[in-house]
Amino acid sequence: MFAGLRVEVPSGILLYGPPGTGKTLSAAAEAHESKSNFMSVNITDIVKGHVSESKKMIELIFRVARRTVPCVLFFDEFQAMFGSRDTSGSVGRKMVSQLLSEFDQKVPGLVVIAATNHHEAVDASLRRPGRFDRSVEVPLPDYNGRLEVLQGIKRTTGCWAEEIELEEISKITIGKSGADHCIRCVNELFST
Protein backbone atom coordinates (compact mmCIF):
# COMPACT_ATOMS: atom_id res chain seq x y z
CA MET A 1 0.00 0.00 0.00
CA PHE A 2 2.76 2.44 0.95
CA ALA A 3 4.69 1.64 -2.24
CA GLY A 4 1.60 2.29 -4.35
CA LEU A 5 1.23 5.70 -2.73
CA ARG A 6 4.98 6.35 -3.05
CA VAL A 7 5.13 6.95 0.68
CA GLU A 8 8.08 5.76 2.71
CA VAL A 9 7.18 3.40 5.54
CA PRO A 10 8.40 4.80 8.85
CA SER A 11 11.25 2.88 10.44
CA GLY A 12 9.73 3.22 13.84
CA ILE A 13 6.75 4.78 15.57
CA LEU A 14 6.93 6.03 19.13
CA LEU A 15 3.54 6.12 20.87
CA TYR A 16 3.51 8.26 23.99
CA GLY A 17 0.98 9.35 26.54
CA PRO A 18 -0.44 8.60 29.98
CA PRO A 19 -0.92 5.00 31.14
CA GLY A 20 -4.08 3.22 30.06
CA THR A 21 -4.78 5.22 26.90
CA GLY A 22 -4.51 2.30 24.47
CA LYS A 23 -0.95 2.46 23.16
CA THR A 24 -0.49 -1.31 23.31
CA LEU A 25 -3.94 -1.93 21.89
CA SER A 26 -3.18 0.48 19.03
CA ALA A 27 0.00 -1.40 18.12
CA ALA A 28 -1.82 -4.74 18.16
CA ALA A 29 -4.62 -3.25 16.03
CA GLU A 30 -2.05 -1.98 13.52
CA ALA A 31 -0.63 -5.48 13.18
CA HIS A 32 -4.11 -6.94 12.75
CA GLU A 33 -5.23 -4.34 10.20
CA SER A 34 -2.05 -4.74 8.15
CA LYS A 35 -2.27 -8.55 8.38
CA SER A 36 1.14 -8.65 10.04
CA ASN A 37 2.56 -10.80 12.78
CA PHE A 38 2.69 -9.12 16.17
CA MET A 39 5.66 -9.53 18.51
CA SER A 40 5.37 -7.82 21.88
CA VAL A 41 8.51 -7.25 23.95
CA ASN A 42 8.58 -6.22 27.63
CA ILE A 43 11.50 -5.16 29.79
CA THR A 44 11.70 -8.62 31.39
CA ASP A 45 12.27 -10.12 27.94
CA ILE A 46 15.41 -8.03 27.40
CA VAL A 47 17.01 -6.99 30.66
CA LYS A 48 19.02 -9.95 31.85
CA GLY A 49 21.77 -10.45 34.41
CA HIS A 50 24.67 -9.48 32.17
CA VAL A 51 25.03 -6.82 29.49
CA SER A 52 26.02 -9.43 26.92
CA GLU A 53 22.81 -11.39 27.59
CA SER A 54 20.66 -8.28 27.10
CA LYS A 55 22.45 -7.44 23.85
CA LYS A 56 21.96 -11.02 22.63
CA MET A 57 18.25 -10.86 23.47
CA ILE A 58 17.84 -7.67 21.41
CA GLU A 59 19.66 -9.31 18.51
CA LEU A 60 17.53 -12.47 18.81
CA ILE A 61 14.26 -10.52 18.97
CA PHE A 62 15.10 -8.64 15.77
CA ARG A 63 16.29 -11.83 14.06
CA VAL A 64 12.96 -13.53 14.79
CA ALA A 65 11.00 -10.42 13.72
CA ARG A 66 12.90 -10.24 10.42
CA ARG A 67 12.10 -13.90 9.72
CA THR A 68 8.39 -13.35 10.32
CA VAL A 69 7.80 -10.29 8.12
CA PRO A 70 5.39 -8.74 7.66
CA CYS A 71 5.76 -8.05 11.35
CA VAL A 72 5.01 -5.34 13.88
CA LEU A 73 7.64 -5.51 16.60
CA PHE A 74 6.28 -3.77 19.70
CA PHE A 75 8.31 -2.58 22.69
CA ASP A 76 6.29 -1.71 25.80
CA GLU A 77 7.64 0.57 28.57
CA PHE A 78 10.29 1.64 26.08
CA GLN A 79 11.91 4.33 28.23
CA ALA A 80 12.70 1.73 30.91
CA MET A 81 14.72 -0.30 28.40
CA PHE A 82 16.18 2.44 26.21
CA GLY A 83 16.38 5.59 28.29
CA SER A 84 18.93 8.33 27.90
CA ARG A 85 22.49 7.03 27.60
CA ASP A 86 23.61 9.94 29.78
CA THR A 87 21.75 8.61 32.80
CA SER A 88 21.39 4.87 32.21
CA GLY A 89 24.94 3.71 32.88
CA SER A 90 27.02 1.27 30.87
CA VAL A 91 24.27 -1.36 30.57
CA GLY A 92 21.81 1.18 29.17
CA ARG A 93 24.39 2.61 26.75
CA LYS A 94 25.20 -0.82 25.38
CA MET A 95 21.53 -1.73 24.99
CA VAL A 96 20.83 1.51 23.09
CA SER A 97 23.88 0.88 20.89
CA GLN A 98 22.64 -2.63 20.10
CA LEU A 99 19.18 -1.32 19.23
CA LEU A 100 20.71 1.33 16.95
CA SER A 101 22.69 -1.41 15.22
CA GLU A 102 19.52 -3.44 14.66
CA PHE A 103 17.72 -0.41 13.23
CA ASP A 104 20.52 0.01 10.69
CA GLN A 105 19.66 -3.42 9.23
CA LYS A 106 16.47 -2.38 7.46
CA VAL A 107 14.10 -5.11 6.31
CA PRO A 108 10.99 -4.32 4.24
CA GLY A 109 7.88 -5.40 6.09
CA LEU A 110 9.25 -4.87 9.59
CA VAL A 111 7.73 -1.96 11.50
CA VAL A 112 8.92 -1.21 15.02
CA ILE A 113 6.47 0.44 17.40
CA ALA A 114 7.36 1.48 20.93
CA ALA A 115 5.15 2.75 23.74
CA THR A 116 6.22 5.03 26.54
CA ASN A 117 4.66 7.22 29.17
CA HIS A 118 7.72 9.50 29.06
CA HIS A 119 8.96 10.11 25.51
CA GLU A 120 11.41 12.73 26.72
CA ALA A 121 13.24 9.97 28.65
CA VAL A 122 13.97 7.97 25.48
CA ASP A 123 17.52 8.43 24.20
CA ALA A 124 17.65 11.23 21.62
CA SER A 125 19.59 9.06 19.15
CA LEU A 126 16.55 6.78 18.90
CA ARG A 127 14.22 9.66 18.02
CA ARG A 128 16.18 10.71 14.92
CA PRO A 129 15.10 10.06 11.31
CA GLY A 130 15.65 6.47 10.26
CA ARG A 131 14.82 5.21 13.72
CA PHE A 132 11.66 6.31 15.52
CA ASP A 133 10.89 8.98 12.96
CA ARG A 134 7.24 9.31 13.96
CA SER A 135 6.06 10.25 17.44
CA VAL A 136 2.33 9.97 18.05
CA GLU A 137 0.67 11.25 21.20
CA VAL A 138 -2.07 9.01 22.61
CA PRO A 139 -3.85 11.37 25.03
CA LEU A 140 -6.52 10.80 27.63
CA PRO A 141 -9.95 10.52 25.99
CA ASP A 142 -12.29 13.47 25.79
CA TYR A 143 -16.01 13.26 26.63
CA ASN A 144 -16.86 11.43 23.37
CA GLY A 145 -13.94 9.03 23.77
CA ARG A 146 -14.94 8.18 27.34
CA LEU A 147 -18.53 7.66 26.19
CA GLU A 148 -17.38 5.27 23.44
CA VAL A 149 -15.30 3.28 25.94
CA LEU A 150 -18.26 3.00 28.31
CA GLN A 151 -20.61 2.01 25.48
CA GLY A 152 -18.15 -0.68 24.40
CA ILE A 153 -17.92 -2.07 27.93
CA LYS A 154 -21.70 -2.10 28.28
CA ARG A 155 -22.18 -3.72 24.86
CA THR A 156 -19.58 -6.45 25.36
CA THR A 157 -20.26 -7.28 29.01
CA GLY A 158 -23.97 -6.58 29.31
CA CYS A 159 -23.51 -6.17 33.06
CA TRP A 160 -25.02 -2.71 33.53
CA ALA A 161 -28.72 -2.02 33.79
CA GLU A 162 -30.42 -0.12 30.97
CA GLU A 163 -31.18 2.85 33.23
CA ILE A 164 -27.48 3.59 33.78
CA GLU A 165 -26.77 6.85 31.98
CA LEU A 166 -23.39 6.51 30.33
CA GLU A 167 -23.47 10.15 29.27
CA GLU A 168 -23.53 11.24 32.92
CA ILE A 169 -20.67 8.89 33.79
CA SER A 170 -18.66 10.26 30.88
CA LYS A 171 -19.20 13.81 32.17
CA ILE A 172 -17.86 13.05 35.66
CA THR A 173 -14.85 10.96 34.61
CA ILE A 174 -12.70 13.80 33.20
CA GLY A 175 -9.02 12.85 33.36
CA LYS A 176 -9.70 9.10 33.34
CA SER A 177 -8.25 6.73 30.76
CA GLY A 178 -9.80 3.80 28.96
CA ALA A 179 -8.21 1.51 31.54
CA ASP A 180 -9.84 3.52 34.34
CA HIS A 181 -13.26 2.80 32.84
CA CYS A 182 -13.12 -0.86 33.72
CA ILE A 183 -16.21 -2.36 35.30
CA ARG A 184 -14.72 -2.19 38.80
CA CYS A 185 -14.01 1.54 38.45
CA VAL A 186 -17.49 2.33 37.16
CA ASN A 187 -19.06 0.20 39.90
CA GLU A 188 -17.10 2.26 42.45
CA LEU A 189 -18.74 5.39 41.03
CA PHE A 190 -22.18 3.90 41.68
CA SER A 191 -21.34 2.91 45.24
CA THR A 192 -20.31 6.46 46.26
pLDDT of 87-138, one tens digit each? 667 777 888 889 999 988 888 899 999 999 998 888 888 888 888 988 999 9
**pLDDT band at residue 74, thresholds of 50, 70 and 90?**
very high
Cα dihedral across residues 151, 135, 62, 51: positive or negative: negative
In three-state secondary structure terms, 107 is coil
The 3-state DSSP class for residue 68 equals coil
Percent of the chain scored above 70 by pLDDT?
85
Q: Quick check: pTM over 0.75?
A: yes
Given phi > 0 = left and psi -120 to 50 = alpha, else beta, which region is 34? Answer: alpha
